Amino acid sequence: MRLSREAVLRAAVALADEQGVARLSMRTLAEELGVVPMALYKHVSSKEDLLDGMVDVIVAEIDPPLGERAWRTTVRSRILSARTVLQRHRWARQVLETRTTRTPAVLAYTDSFIGMFLDRGFSVDLTHHVMHALGSRMWGFTQELFDAPEPGSVQSGPAQPGSAQLEEMARRFPNILRIATASAHGEGVVGRGCDDQFEFEFALDLLLDGVEGLHARGWTSARP
Amino acid sequence: MRLSREAVLRAAVALADEQGVARLSMRTLAEELGVVPMALYKHVSSKEDLLDGMVDVIVAEIDPPLGERAWRTTVRSRILSARTVLQRHRWARQVLETRTTRTPAVLAYTDSFIGMFLDRGFSVDLTHHVMHALGSRMWGFTQELFDAPEPGSVQSGPAQPGSAQLEEMARRFPNILRIATASAHGEGVVGRGCDDQFEFEFALDLLLDGVEGLHARGWTSARP
DNA sequence: ACCATAGGTGTACGTTGTACACCCGTCAAG
DNA sequence: CTTGACGGGTGTACAACGTACACCTATGGT
């Protein structure tokens, strides 16, 4: 069975999906494909290239923008589509963050994303700033703060109620504790009981509300 | 001259500042200190621990919140203080992103950050969502999109006007090009001619405007 | 029938983090 | 003054990584 760039990329995505990106090395991937490591280099010029290709694969999974709807629904639903894709491929966020060169597929997505604004009457100026304000949110993720111990990390789990660890925590970081306990509805403790999807949409809508206001009143940056 | 954890961390920060975090290995750091690599492990339990410690060093550089000012000015100026620190240590963003466990110093900063809201009358509920919405912005950075080729990467430079590369770009990614040329005031081309600080404050203020509105009208999440 | 070429193989190198055994200088207790 | 524990620097070694280079082999166009 012959290899191909497509086959290599698909296998890499699958392996990262299952084992996490940390377990993805040229050697493990080669073994997965029943081939010697160096064989991959006939289809991929380097590991960076491999990762770029993997990003391309998942970018292709993001839905294209829908018909003639208003900018806000179009943008919103596309971002949420990106988010479901990134949810399927949990390694993607991390890989995306480390990409230094943008592949054509990524540029194409970005271009089309910008188009959703420009084609619906946004000024180039406002669109530019909005893109910066959205930042990585256009990919459907945000820099999370408290959360997500990598699968496989030793994270002594949520603190047990009444434990010394928790008391120490309460003394030194009372504010964090208040947030944490509140968001866990009073039951589980420090562990993340909050709804990621809700948080994401909350932040997204906050931003979109702001953008809507600026657009409505014809905002433009004061800079020449 | 004896080593110490402090000395090791300071040297690591200095080395990362000068050479970039990519050039920071246990070996290079040891050599910098005129010592054998394994000596570091008497002061630092692993490279992860080293990076955690480096984060602690720079977190300590962020200004504490000022007096009794209104929440918005307090939060805003603190975030901008964090930003100037992160600007001094350009590797910090990348390192912060990869941290998986939060050190006491990081938790303390977060706690104090949350306190700026709670102490000024924000509900626990709203504060929680606001923290998520701010995300990494509380550290003074955002996921940049177009920019910042790592120093040392081969990035064929901004496209030359009239080059075939630029024409290709114009055909395939017209929207990106419009944004890029506009933000570069018509002179330089695809390269980033835009003002990072302005973009950061624009996005930050957009968010803070939204938060202000929610707080003013006593917003609370509908969830039980 | 030829031979160029695409694609898989084998070996090898340099770099990384770090485990483990060692060894030495300092200082407290006898 | 001796002793012995111990904090801290050393040396060697290993496994895993990305990948350069030379090689082999089956395919397919001329």
pLDDT higher for A189 or B116?
B116
Q: What is the mean pLDDT of chain A?
A: 88
Residue B125 · residue B116 · CB < 8 Å: no
Q: What is the mean pLDDT of chain B?
A: 88
Which pLDDT score, from 0 to 100, does residue A163 have?
73
The reply to whether the CB atom of residue A192 sits less than 7 A from any atom in nucleic acid chain C is: no
For residues B87-105, average pLDDT = 94
List of chain A residues whose C-beta atoms are within 8 Å of the C-beta of residue B182: 124-125, 128
List of chain A residues whose C-beta atoms are within 8 Å of the C-beta of residue B198: 221, 223
pLDDT of A133 above 70: yes
List of chain A residues whose C-beta atoms are within 8 Å of the C-beta of residue B185: 224
A100·B150 Cβ contact <8 A = yes
For residues A12-29, average pLDDT = 98
Which pLDDT score, from 0 to 100, does residue A160 have?
62
Which pLDDT score, from 0 to 100, does residue B12 have?
98
Tell me which of B56-60, B83-87, B175-179 is least confident: B175-179
The reply to whether the CB atom of residue A43 sits less than 7 A from any atom in nucleic acid chain D is: no
Q: How near does any CA of chain A get to the CA of B156, in Å? A: 11
What tens digit of pLDDT does each residue of A29-84 get?
A: 999 999 999 999 999 999 999 999 999 999 999 999 988 789 999 999 999 999 99
d(CA B9, CA B11) in angstroms, rounded, equals 5
Nucleotides of D under 7 A from a protein CB: 7-13, 16-22
Residue B93 token pair: 């963003």
pLDDT of B5 above 90: yes
Which pLDDT score, from 0 to 100, does residue A25 have?
98
Predicted TM-score (pTM) of the model is 0.91
What percent of chain B is modeled with pLDDT above 70?
86
Q: Which of the four pLDDT bands, split at 50, 70 and 90, describes residue B195?
A: confident
Nearest nucleotide, CA A39 to C1': C8
In chain B, residues 17-56 whose CB comes closer than 8 Å to chain A:
none
Cβ within 8 Å of residue B194, ≥6 positions away: A128, A132, B183, B184
From A108, A131, A206, residue closest to B210, measured CB to CB: A206
Q: How near does any CA of chain B get to the CA of A145, in Å? A: 6
List of chain B residues whose C-beta atoms are within 8 Å of the C-beta of residue A202: 129, 132-133, 221
Distances (CA, A) of B122 to A193, B116, B129, B222: 21, 9, 11, 16
d(CA A73, CA A80) in angstroms, rounded, equals 10
Alpha-helical runs (H) found in chain B: 5-19, 26-32, 47-59, 71-88, 92-98, 104-118, 124-134, 164-172, 174-183, 196-216
Which pLDDT score, from 0 to 100, does residue B184 have?
64
Using the Cβ of B2 and the Cβ atoms of chain A, whether some distance falls under 8 Å is answered with no
Q: What is the DSSP letter of B224?
A: -
Which pLDDT score, from 0 to 100, does residue A158 have?
55
Residue B204 half-sphere exposure, CB side, CA atoms within 13 Å?
A: 22
Distance A57 CA to D18 C1' (A): 23
For residues B198-221, average pLDDT = 96
Count of positions (residues) in chain A: 224
pLDDT of A104 above 50: yes
Distances (CA, A) of A159 to A169, A207, B113, B208: 9, 34, 22, 33
Which pLDDT score, from 0 to 100, does residue A69 have?
86
B132·A202 Cβ contact <8 A = yes
- Chain A to chain B, count of Cβ pairs less than 8 Å apart? 162
For residues B108-125, average pLDDT = 96
A179·B145 Cβ contact <8 A = no
Q: Which of the four pLDDT bands, split at 50, 70 and 90, describes residue B193?
A: low
For residues A123-151, average pLDDT = 82
Q: Which of the four pLDDT bands, split at 50, 70 and 90, describes residue A154?
A: very low
Residue A207 · residue A74 · CB < 8 Å: no
Please provide the distance, in angstroms rounded to a whole number, between the alpha carbons at the two ends of chain B. Answer: 60
Amino acid sitting at position B157: G
What tens digit of pLDDT does each residue of A164-207 get?
A: 777 888 999 999 999 988 876 544 334 456 789 999 999 999 99
B203·A131 Cβ contact <8 A = no
What is the per-residue DSSP string for chain A? ----HHHHHHHHHHHHHHH-GGG--HHHHHHHTTS-GGGGGGT-SSHHHHHHHHHHHHHTTSPPPPTT--HHHHHHHHHHHHHHHHHH-TTHHHHHHH--S--HHHHHHHHHHHHHHHTTT--HHHHHHHHHHHGGGGGT----SS--PPTTS----SPPTT-HHHHHHHHH-HHHHHHHHHHTTTTS-SS--S-HHHHHHHHHHHHHHHHHHHHHTT---S--
B175·A115 Cβ contact <8 A = yes
B182·A125 Cβ contact <8 A = yes
Tell me which of A93-107, B34-48, B54-68, B132-146 is least confident: B132-146
Tell me which of A112-126, A134-148, B4-18 is least confident: A134-148
Which pLDDT score, from 0 to 100, does residue B15 have?
98
Specify burial of residue B123 (Cβ count, 10 A radius: 0-12, 13-18, 19+). middle
d(CA B116, CA B74) in angstroms, rounded, equals 7
